[in-house]
Structure 1
């Protein structure tokens, strides 16, 4: 069976390049916030995999999806796929709190989550994914 040609240029570029381009494209506090949380994710989980899904969403994975990084006019939203199952002693989750599975962190201009608490949350998400995989 012939291999399907990529539909867009995005499908041929590595996710890391697409995320770099998104950060540059934003060009304001949102790009800076996305770059900062991306750096924290890599500090917490050096072997994290960056992917690009749903035609334009940065995604960080480690044995499954950890979180997505979406940008809106008023916020950068980090949605954790299994956030409801994660410990959040510093109460970083401040959005999508009503769901049974996901939780999110909305970062607004001038605000950033505590770096230590955020990295702990990322490690907890990776641990949760690893535990699900073993079942």
Structure 2
């Protein structure tokens, strides 16, 4: 299977709000730049890349979590990020 097919399958298996949420996030990420590539890494995580990893998406029991590569270096004046403030790269 291609990475995109793995992500399709993952989303289809999430029959609650998490599937819809992850599908919407995926659409937004892919719309941001036509050169963004979908990958399937780390034993089953969708990863969106452009000259390296941009963001990893995972569905957990009660949330959909996005982890941004180099997110720790991004300004966050609106306190959008809610975890990983002590990290040096990922947030």
Q: Normalization by structure 2: what TM-score?
A: 0.92
1:84 to 72, 75, 78: 72
| Paired residue total | 91
Higher relative contact order (CA 8 A, sep 6+): 1
Matched, 1:31 2:19: yes
Aligned positions of 1:117-132 closer than 5 A: none
Higher helix fraction (1 or 2): 1
Aligned to 1:102: 90
Counterpart-to-counterpart distance in 2, 1:95 and 1:55: 22
**Alpha-carbon distance, 1:80 to partner:** 0.6
1:93 to 78, 81, 85: 81
1:18-57 deviation line (CA, Å, top 9, x unaligned): 1011000011111111001001101112210000001110
Aligned to 1:49: 37
Pick the structure with greater CA Rg. 1
Higher strand fraction (1 or 2): 2
Q: Give unmatched runs, 5+ long, in structure 1.
A: 1-12, 104-135
Aligned to 1:18: 6
**Alpha-carbon distance, 1:89 to partner:** 3.5
CA RMSD of aligned residues (A): 1.1
